[in-house]
Amino acid sequence: MPAMHGWLWLWFPGFLGFVGVTLHLVLWGLLIYLIVRVARGPARRPGSRALDVLDERYARGEIDRAEYLERRAVLLGERDETTSVP
């Protein structure tokens, strides 16, 4: 008694072959992506180094709360730096 998948190959050999190859490529691509993602470590947000420096300056007391919040808003894109008052 022939297997069911053998019968399907008689009717749709090109389609099922395409689906099988595509699934393999997608799975291998996903596996490679996950390995690279894990190897690189956690993603950092844009401007995170500048925010780290700003946090350190605030923690050391070099800037006050108002200046900290204003600069943080500029770095996060919540405020346009050209419209801020000095």
Enter the pTM of the model. Answer: 0.43
Domain ranges within the chain, ordered by starting residue: 4-40, 44-86
> What pLDDT digit, counting tens, does each position of 35-69 carry?
998 888 777 666 688 899 999 999 999 999 999 99
Strand extents, DSSP E, 1-86: none
| N-term to C-term CA, the chain | 85
Tell me if 53 sits within 8 A of 70, measured CB to CB: no
Residue 17: predicted pLDDT = 72
Region of 28 (left: φ > 0; alpha: ψ -120 to 50; beta: rest) is: alpha
